[in-house]
Chain A
Amino acid sequence: MSTHTEHQAQQGPEPLDVNDPRLSRFDIVQEGARRDDIEIVHYEPQVVPGSKAERRLTRTVALMFLLTGVFATAFLVVYIWWPWQWEPGTGGDKLYTPLLGVTLGLALLGIGFGILTWGKKLLPKEVSIQDRHDQADDPEGRKITGETMLYLADEMGVRRRPLLGISLLAGLAPVGAVAAAPLIGGLIEQPHKNNQMFTTGFQPAEGGKKIRLIREDGRPIRPADVSVGGQLTVFPGIDGGVSNLHADSPTLLIHLREDDAQKSRAANERKGHGDYMWGNYVAFSKICTHAGCPASLYEQQTNRLLCPCHQSQFLITDNAKPIFGPANRPLPQLPIEVDEEGFFVAKSDYTETIGPDFWERP
């Protein structure tokens, strides 16, 4: 405080004696402000005490506060007695949340606008000016602090006793590593465990047994189940095949029309995938090679498959090559055939990597 009084003494009039009984309360407030380098230069009541305007504003504010009470009570009534359990149809329970929102919102708005009106309209308007004091500390203060800190370093004597500093650093560095080790060591996971990034649920079982294609409900699929031009999402017929445990396995089985199938077969041959189709049926990974969303919007007329996340488009009749959008590589194709019982199976696992790209994808 002493700095402020000194400051006042240099610049302004003598500080007032606040114990002077002739001073009004506002005088003391003003004196306090002055001691904080604040000058109240304009102070003007907005309403004349006892005037019509004041009574009117008081009534308005009071009304808002009372409305808050009304709406808050309404909220409680709705909360307790309104039917709230979900029922089918368009019953009263659908109004439960909207009614809570309206009553709570209006209660809060009432108190908010009440306070705002009180502050903005009923309180005196003022303009005060405060010094910023945002210039740098005086050079002397800086010097003293700087010297003090340098003296601290001298007291520690690191310069004279370098061994202490070196050994402290040498001791503390491993402590930092100790803090990081459990976090990194606990979290880190080898990404290529069981070659998981390059295999899917269609990898043949140990005995070389081929994996069936199944539907979402677990039933295997006969060729006749998919009509011409139709498509079906299929899964590996293994434990947990239809679940997020095998999030990279969902596959789209498409029954192409004759001329599209010919195009597709020719494209397969060009790529050396001559035996991947079975009849007019093709199977492509449903997991987009861009960001991993299911590429699931199949446009039958153009044989394009569109991923709804970022609009990559793949041409099914050309090895599912990306023809538009941000994807950079075709959807991998699953080689399929029909087993002796007449159900679709995967000849082998996918021969390309499924899903979004990563650094070490060959």
Chain B
Amino acid sequence: MKRRKFDAAALPAKSARAVDDRFQVATPLRKLLNKVFPDHWSFLLGEIALFSFIVLLLTGVFLTFFFEPAMTEVIYNGSYAPLRGTPMSAAYASSLDISFDVRGGLIMRQMHHWSALLFMAAIVVHMLRVFFTGAFRKPRETNWIIGSLLFWVGFLAGFTGYSLPDDGLSGTGLRIASAIILSIPVIGSWVSSSIFGGEFPGTIIISRFFIAHVLLVPGLLVALISVHLGLVFKQKHTQWPGPGRTNENVVGERMFPRYALKQGGFFMVVFGVIALMGGLFQINPIWLFGPYEAWVVSAASQPDWYVMFLDGSTRLMPGWEIHIPIGNGYVIPPLFWPTVVLPGILVGLSTMYPFLEARRLKDYKHHNLLQRPRDVPARTAVGAMALAFYIVLTLSGANDVIADKFHISLNAMTWGGRIGLLILPPIAYYITYRMCLGLQQHDREVLAHGVETGIIKRLPDGRFVEVHQPLTSAEGHDGHPPALDYVGWVVPKKMNRLGALGPAIRGFFYPIEKPAEAPVSPGHPPVEARPEREEIGSGESRR
């Protein structure tokens, strides 16, 4: 019988045809491969959060194989000798086992914790980028709201996860959480006893936190992240202003291959950094804290960094209780304001901000071009104000450690925080506003007069003047070069930005190539506008 000849080279084309016959994917796939993404280093901050989340899922699944979410009392009998014979909860014992009796368990635990910290940090920095560049404006308000929610859901994921080992430190955190819930007027004690299944700590909270931490909260995170990315994809990424870039186009690279390769490589780098951190830097050494006992705590008990601002607000709050003299009397404890009301206000303000700004500026247009922070002094100053507020609170969350290490009175630290919280944000607002105006003015100055060359010329009449290099060779009506318009992007301010020095010669020991010619434009490859379109101007669509 004659064997059918097998043609390996034709196989891809053949199978592709077979797939397309059935699913009609050729055209949608082409669109995906071709999708254009604008590029800038600051657009990668959100990716760090995404990649950390993937590492969180991977390491987290590993940990569930060994963790036992139960508060049953057991006597520890594992490898870690100092705690042998200690009564503790099964949750704590299994966390110790992950650290000492599961091969490679400790690095997984530490990678999980580090990627959680990195996840939250990347979210915050990404949020700052989006805020300060105005990327949240119409049509992207929904994504801004989802992003702010992601911070709080991530916060919840972090807190529930961090409480699971049931060690001395996390138990104290749970104790504070129950006190926060108790402080809610009217329903506080009911909510607390419902969550803890009775009086604190009860025997069920770890199992409840476990299912929240491994199913409910991650499910919510996955859903929100999917919508977040889907909207970025649908609405297309914002871009910085620049030659050929308008509010109606996207200038960048097609997704495949270069952009996708860079993303994949960056994921591996983030993963690698987390692995290095998980291996080299100890995090949350629960075996040093001992099991949770309601009567044991040590100084310098700090939560994870993203919780510290709430710890700080709690520390700074004066002990003002509101007493309502009806019947036996009712109380609103001081704990209620910094831990329930403050986060509520923060959620409200941050989610509403895009609408507040649009309303104030009466600006309801689509905005796809980013703004440099200096060009919007009011917003930048508000952001600086918020940042100052947040930093004072976060530092106050560690004020006992600062007082101890720098030999400052603890009470002085608290008072410093209280006063700083009120006066530093307005100061930050004022200084930032002035800085923005100064930077704007300098941009205009360079555009009008050129770059300072550092060359001093003596005029025939004896005066000294500095020679300026104009940014254009055009001649204005009075013989001087005309003042250029500002288009919302970096103005070159140093001679080597104009190619005066030429780029450095590449190569470590010997030049690997002939020195390239000096670039003509500052940092951008020359971009010609599409020939068939006429309305392209670099900055007109910004207003």
A residues neighboring B (CB under 8 Å): 1, 11-12, 32-33, 35-36, 38-42, 44, 52-53, 56, 79, 84-86, 88, 96-102, 104-120, 123-132, 134-135, 187-193, 196-197, 233, 235, 243-244, 246-248, 250, 286-287, 290-294, 296-297, 308-312, 322, 324-329, 355-362
CA A291 to CA B314, docked complex, whole Å: 9
The residue in chain B whose Cβ has the minimal distance to the Cβ of A109 is: B272
CB neighbours of B272 from chain A (8 A): 104-110, 112
Asked if A101 and B198 make an inter-chain contact with CB atoms under 8 angstroms apart, the answer reads no
**10 interchain pairs, CB-CB under 8 A:** A97-B107, A97-B278, A107-B272, A110-B272, A112-B270, A130-B34, A247-B294, A248-B200, A290-B179, A362-B328
Question: B149: CB under 8 A from chain A?
Answer: no
Q: Looking at the assembled complex, report how far the CB atom of B250 sits from the nearest CB atom of chain A, in whole angstroms.
A: 5
B397 to chain A minimum Cβ distance, whole angstroms, is 10
Instruction: Choose among A41, A86, A187, A294 the residue with the greatest number of B CB atoms under 10 Å from its CB.
Output: A86
State A329–B328 Cα separation when bound (angstroms): 17
Chain A residues with CB under 8 Å of B30's CB are 32, 35-36
Find residues 335-383 in chain B having any chain A CB closer than 8 Å to their own CB: 335, 338, 366, 368
State whether B319 touches A327 (Cβ < 8 A). yes
How many B residues have CB within 8 A of the partner chain? Answer: 119
Across the A-B interface, give the 6 residue pairs with the lowest CB-CB distance, nearest first. A101-B279, A112-B268, A119-B261, A108-B272, A105-B276, A115-B265
A96 to B108: give the CA distance in the assembly, Å.
13
Q: Indicate whether B447 reaches chain A with its CB closer than 8 angstroms.
A: no
Q: Does residue B223 face the partner (Cβ distance < 8 Å to A)?
A: no
Contact B250 A130 (CB under 8 A): yes
Q: Could you say which residues of chain A place their CB within 8 Å of the CB of B338?
A: 326
Q: Which one of A38, A114, A248, A355 contacts B265 once the chains associate, using CB atoms below 8 Å?
A: A114
A244 B189 Cβ-Cβ under 8 A: no
Q: CA–CA, A304 to B113, complex, Å?
A: 37
Whole-angstrom distance between the alpha carbons of A1 and B301 in the complex? Answer: 62
Cβ of B95 < 8 Å from any Cβ of A? no
Q: Is the CB of B294 within 8 A of A104?
A: no
With A107-B272, A132-B236, A244-B292 as known contacts, state yes or no: A356 contacts B333, CB within 8 Å. yes
CB < 8 Å: which of B183, B198, B258, B295 contacts A356? B183
Report B-chain residues with C-beta under 8 Å of the C-beta of A311.
315, 399-400, 410, 414
Q: Mark B513-543, 1 if CB is under 8 A from A, else 0.
A: 1000000000001111110100000000000
Q: Are A99 and B189 in contact (CB under 8 A)?
A: no
Is A97 a contact partner of B110 (Cβ separation < 8 A)? yes
Point out the residue from A130, A189, A358 that lies within 8 Å of B182, measured CB to CB: A358
Structural contact, B279 and A291, CB atoms closer than 8 A:
no
Q: Is the CB of B335 within 8 A of A290?
A: yes
Stretch at the interface among B8-16, B170-178, B436-444: B170-178
Bound-state CA distance A362–B73 (Å) is 35
Assess A326 versus B297: contact at CB under 8 Å? Given A97-B279, A135-B366: no
Among residues of A, the one whose C-beta sits closest to the C-beta of B513 is A53
Instruction: Assess whether B466 is interfacial by the CB under 8 Å rule.
Output: no
* Inter-chain contact A296/B295, CB cutoff 8 Å: yes
Least Cβ–Cβ distance between B193 and chain A, in angstroms: 4
Residues on A with beta carbons closer than 8 Å to the beta carbon of B530: 39, 41, 129
Cβ contact of B268, chosen from A109, A189, A324, cutoff 8 A: A109
Query: Which residues of the other chain, B, contact A99 by a CB distance below 8 angstroms?
Result: 279
Q: In the docked arrangement, what's the CA distance between A290 and B35, Å?
A: 56
Q: Please indicate the chain A residues that have their CB under 8 angstroms from the CB of B187 in the complex.
A: 359
Closest beta carbon of chain A to B249's beta carbon, Å: 5
Which residues of B are found within 8 Å of A297, using beta-carbon distances?
Answer: 299
Given contacts A12-B532, A86-B79, A119-B258, 7 further A-B contacts (CB under 8 A): A97-B278, A102-B280, A129-B530, A190-B190, A292-B179, A296-B295, A328-B320
Known A-B contacts A191-B192, A357-B321, A358-B331; A126 and B258 likewise in contact (beta carbons under 8 Å): yes
Query: Quick one: given A115-B265, A294-B294, A308-B297, are A359 and B411 in contact (CB under 8 Å)?
Result: no
Q: Which residues of chain A have C-beta atoms less than 8 A from B155's C-beta?
A: none
